[in-house]
């Protein structure tokens, strides 16, 4: 991922990294993606404490660490980015299910919880498809 980031960003790391997976391993890796004086924001919930997060790397690079939970104040900005096609959420989803199938699917979800999959539940039967 770091090589791809550098290739598409002119050899520069990202000014802003948003970690949404809930994987502590990804959090530990994310400092490699943040440019000096950049911002690293974490918005997921994590199932265990970090063990290998190097605070000195963050401090020497003057990286701002920001924790955030869902907030309505970000909704207009997120919707604007979605509408303009600046962000695409479908790659984050591993599964789409109808509301009627939730009970059946939840058993499978619990069995794969370690993979931290993202599931979209359709209410009303509409397919989200390319709208995300």
Which two tokens mark 57? 């790397």
Distance CA 116, CA 94 (A): 10
Model pLDDT for residues 62-116, shown as the tens digit of each residue: 999 988 776 677 788 888 988 999 888 888 777 788 888 888 877 777 766 666 5
Q: What is the DSSP string of 64-108?
A: EEEE----GGGHHHHHHHHHTTS---GGG-SEEEEGGGHHHHHHH
Question: Could you tell me the pTM of the whole model?
Answer: 0.58
User: CB–CB of 125/100 below 8 Å?
Assistant: no
Query: Given a cut of 60, is residue 131 above it in pLDDT?
Result: no
Distance CA 55, CA 84 (A): 36
Distance CA 19, CA 48 (A): 15
Average pLDDT, the chain: 82
Average pLDDT over residues 113-127: 68
Count CA within 13 A, CB hemisphere, residue 66. 13
Distance CA 93, CA 122 (A): 13
- Give residue 130's pLDDT: 46
129: pLDDT confidence band, cut at 50, 70 and 90?
low
Query: Given a cut of 80, is residue 47 above it in pLDDT?
Result: no
Distance CA 87, CA 7 (A): 19
User: CB–CB of 42/24 below 8 Å?
Assistant: no
Between residues 119 and 27, the one the model is more confident about: 27
Model pLDDT for residues 22-40, shown as the tens digit of each residue: 888 888 888 889 999 999 9
Q: Give the angle 43-130-10 at the CA atoms, nearest 5°.
A: 60
């Amino acid at each position: 991922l770091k090589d791809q980031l550098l290739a598409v960003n002119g050899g520069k790391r990202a000014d802003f990294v948003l970690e949404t997976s809930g994987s502590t391993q990804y959090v530990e890796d994310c400092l490699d993606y943040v440019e000096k004086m950049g911002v690293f924001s974490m918005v997921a919930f994590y199932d265990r404490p970090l063990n290998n997060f190097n605070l000195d790397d963050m401090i020497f690079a003057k990286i701002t660490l920001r924790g955030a939970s869902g907030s309505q104040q970000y909704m207009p900005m997120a919707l604007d980015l979605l509408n303009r096609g600046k962000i695409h959420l479908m790659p984050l989803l591993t599964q789409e299910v109808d509301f009627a199938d939730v009970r059946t699917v939840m058993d499978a979800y619990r069995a794969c919880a370690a993979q931290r999959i993202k599931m979209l539940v359709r209410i009303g039967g509409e397919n989200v498809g390319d709208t995300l």
